[in-house]
A = this chain, B = another copy of it.
Amino acid sequence: MTVQDTAKRAKEAAVRLSSLSTELKNRCLMEMADTLRNRAEEILKESAEDVRKAEISVEKGKLGPPLLKRLKLDASKLDQMILSIESVAAMKDPVGEVLGKTLLDDGLVLSRVACPIGVIGVIFESRPDAVTQIGSLCFKSGNSVILKGGSEAGRSIRILVESMNEALSKFPEVPVGVFNMVETREDVSAMLDLDRLIDLLIPRGSNELVRYIQSHTKIPVLGHSDGICNVYVDIDVDLPSATELVVDSKCQYPGVCNAAENLLVHREIAGEVLPLVRKELEENGVLLKGCEETQKILQGISPATDKDWDTEYLDLILSIKVVADLTEAIDFINLHGSGHTDAILTKDQGSARQFFSGVDSSSVLHNCSTRFADGFRYGLGAEVGISTNKTHARGPVGLEGLVIYQYRLEGSGQTVAQYSGKGGKKFKHKPLAE
């Protein structure tokens, strides 16, 4: 089957998926969970084979060791994946929700109704858990999926997709072609060209992967490449709390997109804040870089170059800049940040408001850690990714970001001619309760 044929089948499946009842979709999800549970032994065996091969590649220096951690599927991780499918079954179905209703005129009612997007292409690297996480969210929201994972995870992904399709095959109302898998690099190139069949792409993986996809397709891409998050310490601040929040933003899990990369400090408090922060950060093994003013306060730290302000370290490194005021901080963040997640630490509600409306990022935070920007913590249940796009869905994206809407107009014989010209009927345009 060519990628084009796969995508055509996925498109046909999507049309039928869009009208499945919530109850049926939930039964399907529970069946998927059961099937994975029943086939756990097999799945873990296939995964172990992926890991065994990857270990050889790591030994030969062909793959980096962090890959092994992402690749590895043990009983407890599989169990988490199964529980997560069950939690998606428990979530509210976004499809069919009436988002607005207007009486255009008597007997002429307009509704805006949430509906699935269609076919979603998911391109990820070596995490097999992406299959069940993104797959279950797409299915619940009525979308069909084409999955392409890293070749190192080939066996794991194949058996997971096979098991999920096996579960669906027990329901005659569910079309064939809901979960599809493609395997080669050439398949990815082919996918990127199918803008008439694939409605949305979700890349999960390195910045390079995301950037490559963004620049090689006309299909809308949901996601982000860089996660350059900033923490700004304003003049009027609780020092112990600010220090703790800087440490958490940087150190709680430095290898992820919502960890802080730049720290900005108001000039009038820099002399107090910076030594405290330095002590805590250095105890946590963080390498500090600073602007000239920072270097005067924190003697001996390395200089931060212009390049540093635009770098996502994903590591225990932090660049520090002293700023004249809130406005300079906001301008700095809009210039150097990546529109992902930025925090202000201040007791001043006015400053926080100004920061919120001035910083053009998907998440803006006040007096808490940047690490909160995440679908689970935001209560979305699960996420398909974090988007820095400024159209469609932004920030952590869960089920709601996987639907769009359709206008539905119910008439009783009205023509536009009746509403045209002098003496034409007038519209009422009265909002109705949904």
Report A's interface with B, CB cutoff 8 A. 14-15, 18-19, 102, 104, 108, 110, 112-113, 115, 117-118, 199-200, 214-215, 218, 220, 222, 238, 241, 244-245, 247-248, 252-253, 330, 334, 352, 354, 356-358, 360-369, 371-373, 377-379, 389-396, 404-417, 419-420, 427, 429
Contact = CB atoms under 8 A, between A and B. Distances in A.
A212 B235 CA distance: 51
Contact of A373 (B19, B330, B366, B407): B407
A414 to B, nearest CB: 5
B406 A363 contact: yes
Contacts of A214: 218
A235 to B, nearest CB: 17
A231 B169 CA distance: 35
A160 to B, nearest CB: 27
Interface centre among A102, A415, A419 (most CB of B within 10 A): A415
B220 A252 contact: no
Nearest to A102: B379
Main secondary structure of the interface of A (DSSP, over half): mixed
Contact of A391 (B360, B368, B391, B415): B391
Contact of A409 (B113, B117, B360, B365): B365
A407 B395 contact: yes
A117 B339 CA distance: 12
A155 to B, nearest CB: 32
Given A14-B360, A248-B415, A372-B416, 5 more contacts: A18-B360, A19-B354, A199-B391, A378-B407, A391-B393
A197 to B, nearest CB: 12
B364 A417 contact: no
7 contacts: A110-B378, A248-B416, A365-B411, A366-B410, A368-B413, A377-B419, A392-B404
A404 B411 contact: no
Given A390-B199, A416-B252, A429-B379, A368 B409 contact: yes
Given A104-B377, A379-B104, A427-B379, A406 B395 contact: yes
A241 B413 contact: yes
A265 B410 CA distance: 20
A101 B379 CA distance: 11
A372 to B, nearest CB: 6
Given A18-B357, A334-B15, A408-B364, A415 B117 contact: no
